[in-house]
Amino acid sequence: MATTVLDSVLFRDAFGTPRMRAIFEDRALIARYVEAEVALARAEGRLGVIPAEAAREIAARCDPAALDLDELRRETEIVGYPILPLVHQLARQCGEAGRYVHWGATTQDIMDTGVVLQLRAALDLVGEELEELRTILAGLARRHRDTPMAGRTHLQQALPVTFGYKAAIWLSMLDRHAERLTQLRPRVLVGEFAGAAGTLASLGTRGLEVQALMMEELGLGVPTATWHVARDGLAEAVNFLGLLTGSLGKIAFDTMLMASTEVAEVYEPFVKGRGASSTMPQKRNPISSELILAASKAVRQHAGLMLDAMVQDFERATGPWHAEWIAIPESFVLSAGALHQAKFMLGGLIVDERRMRGNLDMTSGLIVAEAVMMGLAPHLGRNEAHDVVYAACRTVNERGGRLADVLCAMPEVAARLDRAAVERLTDPGNYLGMAPAMVDRVLAGRGRPDRAADPTG
């Protein structure tokens, strides 16, 4: 029976996705270990470090599907690591050639390389989901380029913006994450083969040649130096997920606030029963946003754990390495879940333009007090214009009414601006600044980052 939400029958597809779980499940991980062992044997066979026939036998006969997982589990509990028990079984599978399995390698070489192979598939999946989400946000930004709404600072109405401007800000974050993903791949997708203390001493003068050919077999980058205790690559991968899910969390938080009853500007897609309350039939809770927010918090915790695990002792570490076994799979599964929920939520987002306009007008023009001040400034000077508009705003706050009417009743305003000018200045739709132009700039600058420079493919 599952004990975490990542594997729970009830929750696993709320917090993750089947495709990402498939990359990190046990059999897939073990298959990556076997892939690394076979690539090592092939490289050594090509160089004559082990007999070429033995390398062919190892490649042909190593079969992860034929492994006894119960035996592997029992021995792993005793040894503390899965590679020695795995090598025992692979050696039996290969007969006489089995003596050459794992030649010159150490446990961490195979485990690190296996994890990097997982990361390659996982980062590909993240990139695919991220691209789909960027396309959705680009559509929202384009469609609502000129849809006015209240911009808010400190949870108070500040100045008018457009919903497309808000979506473009969300998109710009994800565009940068797509760029980061392209840039980190060559740093992260680097294999490991270095031997007991990282010097490849057991292979004499052939160690670096074997290392290079092994990575060629796997399609991974060749390390410039052993990274048994230099864990910045893996930490970068998980911290990238922390940044990505942090941005998704911000989008989710905005959406939840905008979906609150008092604001009611957007709603998550309607699916019968989704977000329903067991006691309040009227409820329509923002479920996807809540799941995204929870996942983003969990990934940030793992990002911190990966940074902590970078502090390792000497040439081979003690406990910090083990923390990665927890943080990496969970971070990727949670991130995939957050991306999936974001695609669902934003792909079907219901935008209430009428309510946005109503909220924009609810302050009776106060939201564009700055516009009036700047309109009066050429006539009165900025400071006096500020004081005049400030007094008008206080009158509206204390006595009610429209800002335009109060301003037109003030002699110092009426002498300089006619009614039409005041009405124009107090219309929030006329004070959007460069928000629409910024939407255009974000949309013009997007496009899938070029991955041609990535040597790992």
Question: The domain spanning residue 158 has which CATH number?
Answer: 1.20.200.10
> Average pLDDT over the chain, rounded to whole?
91
Scored b (16 or more CB within 10 A) or e, 372-411 reads bbbbbeeebeeeebbebbeebbebbeeeeebbbbbbbebe
Asked whether residue 252 is assigned to any structural domain, the reply reads yes
Position 248 scores a pLDDT of: 97
Alpha helical stretches, state H, 265-319: 287-308
Over the stretch 290-328, which tens digit does the pLDDT of each residue have?
999 999 999 999 999 999 998 988 877 777 888 999 999
Is residue 255 within 8 Å of 266, Cβ to Cβ? yes
Domain that holds residue 376: 366-425
**Mean pLDDT of the region 80-100:** 94
Q: H-helix or E-strand containing 330?
A: helix 320-347
Residue 74 inside a domain? The answer is no
Residue 267 lies in a domain: yes
d(CA 170, CA 164) in angstroms, rounded, equals: 10
Q: How confident is the model at residue 449 (pLDDT cuts 50, 70, 90)?
A: very low
Task: Answer yes or no: is 399 within a domain.
Answer: yes
Q: Residue 241, class by beta-carbon neighbours within 10 Å (0-12 exposed, 13-18 middle, 19+ buried)? A: buried
With both helix axes pointing from N to C terminus, report the angle between 83-94 and 107-143 in degrees, rounded to the nearest 10: 110
Q: What angle (nearest 5°) sits at the alpha carbon of residue 160, between those of residues 158 and 162?
A: 130
> What whole-number distance in Å separates Cα of residue 44 and Cα of residue 50?
6
Number of domains making up the chain = 2
Half-sphere exposure of 348 (CA within 13 A, CB side): 11
- The answer on 254 and 184 residing in a single domain is yes
3-state secondary structure of 160: strand
231 and 353 housed in the same domain: yes
Lookup: tokens for 59: 């490649």
pLDDT digit string, tens, across residues 216-274: 999 999 999 998 999 999 999 999 999 999 999 999 999 999 999 999 999 988 776 65
| Whether residue 240 is found in the same domain as residue 297 | yes
Amino acid at site 417: L
Q: Please tell me whether residues 194 and 139 are part of one structural domain.
A: yes
Is residue 124 one of the residues assigned to a domain? yes
Would you state the pLDDT for residue 380?
A: 87
Type of residue at 128: E
Whether residues 297 and 408 fall in one domain:
no
- 3-state SS assignment for residue 149: strand
Q: What is the DSSP string of 360-389?
A: HHTTTTGGGHHHHHHHHHHHH-HHHHHHHH
Residues 337 and 195 in one domain: yes
Phi then psi for residue 358, to 5 deg, are -65, -45
Q: Which of 88, 102, 144, 154 is catalytic?
A: 154
Identify which has the larger pLDDT, 381 or 454.
381
Q: Catalytic residue at 8?
A: no
- How far is the first Cα of the chain from the last one, in angstroms, to the nearest whole number? 38
- Distances in whole angstroms, Cα of residue 389 to Cα of each of 7, 197, 212, 396, 414: 59, 73, 72, 11, 13
Residue with tokens 């040439």: 315
Same domain, 372 and 352: no
- Do 346 and 137 touch, CB atoms closer than 8 A? yes
CA angle 82, 83, 85 (to 5 degrees): 70
* 159: Cβ contacts below 8 Å, ≥ 6 apart: 151, 367, 368, 370, 431, 433
Structural domain includes residue 38: no
Q: pLDDT of 160-177, one tens digit each?
A: 999 999 999 999 999 999
Q: Is residue 318 part of a domain?
A: yes
pLDDT in tens, 32-82: 999 999 999 999 999 999 999 999 999 999 999 999 999 999 999 999 899
Contact, 44 vs 365, CB < 8 A?
no
pLDDT at 453: 41
Shared domain for 286 and 370, answered yes or no, is: no
Does 22 reside within a domain?
no
Whether pLDDT at 282 is above 80: no
**Is 154 labeled as catalytic in the residue annotation?**
yes
Residue whose C-alpha is closest to residue 286's, from 263, 246, 259? 259
- 239 shares its domain with 388: no
How many other C-beta atoms lie within 10 A of the C-beta of residue 35? 18
Higher pLDDT, 65 or 449: 65
Residue type, 271: V
**Same domain? 372 vs 310:** no
Whether the predicted pLDDT of 105 surpasses 90 = yes
Any idea what the CATH number is for the domain that residue 383 is in?
A: 1.10.40.30
Clarify whether residues 171 and 314 are in a common domain: yes
Tokens 């309510």 appear where? 355
What is the rounded CA–CA span in Å between residue 454 and residue 287? 38
Looking at the predicted structure, is the pLDDT value of residue 276 above 70? no
Which pLDDT score, from 0 to 100, does residue 158 have?
86
Structure confidence at residue 274 (pLDDT): 58
Lowest mean pLDDT among 86-95, 334-343, 381-390: 381-390
Minimum mean pLDDT range among 44-48, 95-99, 274-278, 331-335: 274-278
Among residues 144, 177, 202, 277, which one is catalytic?
277
Task: Flag whether pLDDT at 451 surpasses 50.
Answer: no
Predicted confidence (pLDDT) per residue in 408-422, tens digit = 999 988 888 899 998
349 with 402, same domain: the answer is: no
Taking only Cα atoms into account, the Rg of the chain, rounded to an integer number of angstroms, comes to 30
Per-residue pLDDT band at 8 (split at 50, 70, 90): confident
